[in-house]
């Protein structure tokens, strides 16, 4: 039997429990791959009662999860209780969320699970508890560190209609401009090519590299960054045999005809990448972390405290994340 996916609890007060329960209840209809939730069974059962859902739970270890999946939602205990009510994080939230992530990574690295799928976290809740990373992506890179070397994590947002990668992620625009360099663009693109080749079945991924300034700088009249930073990166990639084009004007890269000409758009800034994919594929986009020694996907949305526990949460992005994780794992 195939190894199951390790699904983290995410922020206990958010919609992670809601979409997990909704996805499992539709497991047969959606033909979902087996997964288990790392978290507090009592908290999950309480959320099911709040939502009026009849769900069977199975307290299991990772090795037993796949066989239990068809009859009950497998739950692997982390040893951290979660007492937060929907929409109201409490003192247990950060510890429960972080323990779940740590254990999921450990399970995958030990071969007990095929991939990590993460439910949404509330970064402000984690920051108050002393969390020092900008987000999930950077924390996962730390957990993946081996021999003192931390891999470069690359955040991809993927959907059947569009895949995008921001070169700079969870920093201010001012800091992003300070970070942006030819070397960073090249290293990011090389990771994208390697992982899309290994896990997405693409022999020669086509990359579209977005410019930074309006109209990609208009030959330097609107800024020199496109000429001095981005164009050299594209040239290096092309010399390496990568099918890369750019810098391209970002405002003409994302219409339907343009999207057919590349497999992934690489953008200097966070919002250059995320605005188009959230416009094109808001409900089924998946957050994928590339560059790690394990597979990690996540729904492309937040904790949605305002609808937690109401039954209004849409599990579509989690379903897409589970399916993509299984697909990537099967191609490894």
Query: Quick one: CA dihedral 150, 199, 37, 67, positive or negative?
Result: negative
Cα–Cα distance between 135 and 77 in angstroms, integer? 24
Cα–Cα distance between 26 and 316 in angstroms, integer? 11
User: Between the CA of residue 246 and those of 122, 127, 203, 271, 306, what are the distances in Å?
Assistant: 35, 37, 20, 18, 41
Q: What is the CA radius of gyration of the chain?
A: 20
User: How many residues are listed for the chain in this entry?
Assistant: 332
Cα–Cα distance between 319 and 309 in angstroms, integer? 19
Residues forming the annotated binding site?
136-137, 170, 215, 270, 278, 287, 296
Residues forming the annotated binding site for substrate?
136-137, 278, 287, 296
Extended strands (E) in the chain: 5-8, 35-38, 57-59, 73-76, 116-117, 154-158, 163-166, 206-210, 243-248, 264-267, 286-290, 296-299
Cα–Cα distance between 279 and 286 in angstroms, integer? 13
Query: Quick one: CA dihedral 234, 237, 238, 244, positive or negative?
Result: negative
Residues forming the annotated binding site for a divalent metal cation?
170, 215, 270
Cis peptide before 247 (omega within 30 of 0): yes
With 0-12 CB in 10 A as exposed, 13-18 as middle and 19+ as buried, what is 173?
exposed
Q: Token pair of 163, please?
A: 């895949």
């Amino acid at each position: 039997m195939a190894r199951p996916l390790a699904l983290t609890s995410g922020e206990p007060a958010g919609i992670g429990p809601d979409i997990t329960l909704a996805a499992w209840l539709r497991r047969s209809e959606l033909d979902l791959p087996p997964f288990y939730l790392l978290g507090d069974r009592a908290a999950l059962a309480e959320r099911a009662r709040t939502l009026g859902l009849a769900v069977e739970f199975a307290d299991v270890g990772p090795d037993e999860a796949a066989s239990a999946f068809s009859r009950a939602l497998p739950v692997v205990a982390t040893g951290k209780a979660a007492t937060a009510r929907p929409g109201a994080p409490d003192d247990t939230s950060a510890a429960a969320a972080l323990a779940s992530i740590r254990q999921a990574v450990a399970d995958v690295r030990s071969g007990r699970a095929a991939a990590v799928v993460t439910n949404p976290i509330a970064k402000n809740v984690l920051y108050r508890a002393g969390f020092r990373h900008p987000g999930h992506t950077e924390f996962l890179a730390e957990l993946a560190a081996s021999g003192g070397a931390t891999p470069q994590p690359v955040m991809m947002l993927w959907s059947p209609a569009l895949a995008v990668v921001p070169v700079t992620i969870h920093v201010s625009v001012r800091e992003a401009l300070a970070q942006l360099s030819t070397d960073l663009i090249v290293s990011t693109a090389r990771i994208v090519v390697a992982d899309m080749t290994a896990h997405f079945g693409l022999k020669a991924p086509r990359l579209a590299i977005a410019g930074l300034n309006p109209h990609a700088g208009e030959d330097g009249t609107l800024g020199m960054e496109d000429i001095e930073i981005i164009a050299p990166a594209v040239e290096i990639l092309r010399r390496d045999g990568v099918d890369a084009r750019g810098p391209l004007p970002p405002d003409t890269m994302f219409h339907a005809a343009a999207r057919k000409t590349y497999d992934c758009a690489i953008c200097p800034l966070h919002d250059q990448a995320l605005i188009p994919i959230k416009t094109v594929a808001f409900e089924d986009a998946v957050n994928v972390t590339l560059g790690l020694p394990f597979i990690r996907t996540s729904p492309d949305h937040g904790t949605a405290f305002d609808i937690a526990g109401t039954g209004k949460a849409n599990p579509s992005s989690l379903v897409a994340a589970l399916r993509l994780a299984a697909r990537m794992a099967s191609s490894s």
